[in-house]
Amino acid sequence: MNISYYKLPLETSKITSNKELDKCSIMQSIVGFIHLITTSYFGECTFDESFGCSIWNVDFDNLTSTNKLRNTISESLVESIIYQEKRLKKVNVEVMIEQEEFQNRGKLNRIKKRVDIKVVGVVSQTNEPFSCVERFYIAPLSF
């Protein structure tokens, strides 16, 4: 069974001009889908209110401890990936949060929290090991 996976982001101009869309491997497709999950907030997709994760819920939360933030993000991502990404099994998510300082051209320095997310699992179709890393800055979210 030969299944085609489309590379994200989709080039809608190719669709409207009746051209072939770029394709990718199952691994790249899963990485792209996990990126969509991590960058979407719950309720953003009107067709599925459960699509997304809780990163947006803690985006400006500077009072919660790092451990609690880590646990909240990790639990939310594991639950969302298991529910949404059926091509992956044995999902495990590791979240690390660190503070990073940015210099502002002669102004006061800014400190942002960097969130490193490592997702590991097994591709259901091929039993190959899977791993990807996402990196975000929160307060406010950027990547």
User: DSSP code of 41?
Assistant: B
**Bond preceding residue 9 cis, omega within 30 of 0:** yes
pTM value is: 0.83
Put residue 105 in one of left, alpha, beta given phi > 0 → left and psi -120 to 50 → alpha.
left
Domains of the chain: 5-138 (3.10.450.40)
Residue 28 pLDDT class (50, 70, 90 cuts): very high
Residue 101 CB partners (closer than 8 Å, separation 6+): 109, 110, 111
Query: pLDDT digit string (tens) for 36-87?
Result: 999 898 988 888 999 999 887 776 666 567 788 889 889 999 999 999 999 9
Contact in structure between 101 and 109 (CB atoms under 8 Å): yes
Contact 41, 50 (CB under 8 A): no
Helix/strand/coil percent split, the chain, to 5: 30, 30, 40
